[in-house]
Amino acid sequence: MGSSPSKQAQSDAQKSLTRLSKVSEKHFYPDTATPDLATLPQLQSLPDIDGLDLNGDNNEKDIANLLSEWRANFLDSPKNRLALAALSRSDYQSLLIQDDRYNDQNPAVFTHVIKYDGQKDTPVTNQRSSGRCWLFASTNVFRVQLIKSSAIKPKDFQFSQAYLFFYDKLEKASYFLEQIIDTADEDLDSRLVQELLKAPVNDGGQWDMVVNLVEKYGLVPQDVFPDSWNAQNSGHLNYLLTNKLREYGLALRKLIQTEKPTPELLLSLRRQYTQNVYNILATSLGVPPAANETFKWDYWTIDGKPQQVTTTPIKFYRDNLKHPASQYFSLINDPRNDYKQLYTVDRLQNISGGRPITYVNADISELKKAAIKMIQNNEPVFFGSDVGQFGDRATGILDPKSWDYDLGFNTSLGMNKEQRVSTGASSMTHAMVITGVHLEDGVPVKWKIENSWGADTGKKGYFQMSDKWFDEYVFQVVSSAQYVPRELQQVLKTKPNVLPLWDPMGALA
């Protein structure tokens, strides 16, 4: 979003110019006349980071000739010597952690918490060594709907994440082969083809991919299709599938480029290759019921009575979710691009012909407003964030104040959200569920988070997110139309702006 420079920005640029004008011209232009620095906008806009001394004689080209001076300057500081002794012998984050976070935010107090909060009513989930967070987050959201509409005992219930995981892998494999066929005329080393080949059956996903899966395959209880070892530890399975699909992809590209096969032959090969993927998945994860295959399930009711239901995955989904997944959509906060616009990512999909992955880009305040309304209406909130930033797994606190880098390293991190996304420093990496919010005078201060890393992390599996962390590292909130302004609802009806497959908004949580 372009705009003219503010007076403050112009003042800052002038200060930078003044500082730079003091630097001896011999260091920058030894063989030419001194240039007019006003013609060098890249120098005018140089930010003052870490107290740079532009007057010092620090322009020796060979770093090796500067090392003795740098070493002496470093060791001359008692603080640096203490930091060296402490931080070089342990995880520096554990030493630089800021304990005042606990004083600012009592982890036990929230003004609004949904009724079926998993910390006391439902089992804490654990994705273990897999990238299935989006499937855990979505099924944890669906679980609340089922509990509301049935007599199932909440403490015993989970949807099967492995069931959706199986069909997501299968459909992604088929979609990958379709895209390889469609891009056969592209060079193998083109950015598009390389991006397709990078991770054809990534564990991760997006909300619209969840919608595609449950609308086509439904849902089953975890008792019907429990986790296998490979569901909980997906690395070896992904290695096998990824390399097998790359092999298939190369074979299809060679066939198309040399023999011009018919569409019927290509479809037949695609189906056979996908069947081989099915066999690998069935061997590794087990054989799940088909979407319309009948299964029986025994369960306990809230009042302690045994019950049995005979149904199908599709019927189980439709009977137990009052609000279908398809009624919800993604609000995102991407400050690189214009707000109140619809975005999609080229060729990002899990099911061929399925609902496209789309996002309504909005100011971060709109994401918060929607989330608060949902919590107040007793609805959990699926959201996507960059959980690796300033997050403490042991305490479960997500806060930009988590570590004091300046204390240990005499420096701090100064990029804003737009700059982090633009440089690859931040993107949506993890999906979780918001189950509570603490408001002071109607303004959010902190948020209660249901994670899927087991009960041994955070506070019995739950995390606490500061509102400032929400500003900086939350990218997505999934909402239905009733919780957002009409203006944003109308954006869904517009033609989406298409981002390339390698765009940060194409990251799979």
Question: Which residues are known catalytic residues?
Answer: 133, 430, 451
CA gap 282, 276 in Å, rounded: 10
CA gap 474, 477 in Å, rounded: 8
CA gap 73, 56 in Å, rounded: 14
Q: In sequence order, what DSSP letters do the residues of 36-68 get, joined into one string?
A: -GGG-HHHHT----TT--TTSS---S-GGGGHH
Tokens of 245: 């699909």
Query: Three-state SS for 360?
Result: strand
- Give the single-character DSSP code of 15: H
**Stated length of the chain:** 509
Phi then psi for residue 365, to 5 deg, are -65, -30
Instruction: Provide the H-helix boundaries in 154-234.
Output: 161-182, 191-198, 207-217, 229-232
112, HSE (Cβ side, Cα atoms, 13 Å): 21
Which amino acid is residue 279, in one-letter code? Answer: N
Which amino acid is residue 186, in one-letter code? Answer: E
Q: What share of the chain is helix, strand, coil (3-state, %, to 5)?
A: 45, 15, 40
CA gap 134, 475 in Å, rounded: 14
CA distances from 5 to 16, 45, 242, 252 (A): 15, 11, 47, 52
Q: How far is CA 73 from the centre of its chain?
A: 41
- Pick the closest to residue 506 from 389, 346, 386, 367 (CA basis): 346
- Pick the closest to residue 208 from 430, 382, 362, 421 (CA basis): 382
Tokens of 262: 């018919």
